[in-house]
Amino acid sequence: MKIFVLNSKGGVGKSAVSAQIAAPFIWVRNGRKGKVNLIEFDVENNDNEMFSQNSAIIKTSALDAYNKEALLKLAQIRDCVIDSGGNIQTSAALEEFAAANILRKIDLFMVPLTAGIQDVTNTLNTVDVIRQYRPGAKIILVLSMVYTDPAVQFWWLLGDKWHLYKESSLTGDYAGLASHLMAFSASPFIDMAKGIFGETLFEKSEEDITKIEAEMDRLAGELAKYEDGKAPHEIDAAYDQALREQRIVYEAKKFREKCIDPAFNAMEEVLNAKQ
């Protein structure tokens, strides 16, 4: 399976959606075996590079979107997530992908966007370009950084459902724009899990939190043997690390229930829908 995460605008969550949703989705579909190639077309800014060392499900690489030899190699990769990165023009990249016979092998296009009118405009343009090169493509619009009711936050796209604004919405309705809409909530624990452990929140959500808490209890018992401030540094550090991990795993399980599992269901629905 190939999933292409793209938008012509930077800062809309392409890297996060690629690593936190798309790659784990393919990994689960593959029976939880091997690693999923996450290929970022931004050789100067590979946001997900740190996953390669510690993640059990992601293998990352960065390629030049305009390098024909690289694109020919990409066409031969069976399972991967392609992150368009922030430094390419969507229309030009799609033209190169079409020439390399990659677009027809894309199973799902995911287009992240944030709530501003310019983001919505860029997204509609991106969808138009995808449809131009791949009529009938299966597309999901990913509403990124959702922190309130999407009907309010994304009114430019969805229409002014609650009549909060005097201006008319940009589109009034998303019907026909994409196969589906999907919300992707912002979480500070995405960067914490990546920065501290080199793992996705999906991976952290799979961990047994009771084992971490048992280790915390053991370390707390060790610390109790010493007067305040006199415990060996390695015990203090181990307890602090376990405490951080316990919080991240707890938040990861909440994030999975709220965001990841519903996203997986939406993706399956789109992939299984008849054209």
Rg of the chain on CA atoms, in Å:
21
Check whether residue 130 and residue 116 sit in a common domain.
Answer: yes
Q: Which residues of the chain have pLDDT under 50?
A: 162-178
Residue 47, phi then psi, degrees to nearest 5: -60, -30
Check whether residue 158 and residue 229 sit in a common domain.
Answer: no
pTM over 0.75: yes
Check whether residue 159 and residue 216 sit in a common domain.
Answer: no
Check whether residue 164 and residue 202 sit in a common domain.
Answer: no
pLDDT tens readout for residues 116-146: 777 777 888 888 888 888 888 999 988 887 7
Element containing residue 38 per DSSP (H, E)? strand 36-40
Check whether residue 106 and residue 152 sit in a common domain.
Answer: yes
Check whether residue 137 and residue 229 sit in a common domain.
Answer: no
pLDDT reported for residue 88: 59
Residue 94, phi then psi, degrees to nearest 5: -65, -35
What are the residues facing 81 on neighbouring strands?
3, 38
CATH number at residue 58: 3.40.50.300
pLDDT tens readout for residues 74-110: 888 889 999 887 655 667 777 888 888 888 889 999 9
Check whether residue 240 and residue 149 sit in a common domain.
Answer: no
Residue 245 belongs to what domain range? 197-251
pLDDT reported for residue 149: 67
* Domain count for the chain: 2
Check whether residue 202 and residue 186 sit in a common domain.
Answer: no
User: What single string gives the DSSP state of each residue in 147-204?
Assistant: -S-HHHHTHHHH--TT---SSPPSSS--TTT-SEEEEEE--HHHHHIIIIIS--HHHH
Check whether residue 264 and residue 247 sit in a common domain.
Answer: no
pLDDT reported for residue 168: 42
pLDDT reported for residue 20: 95
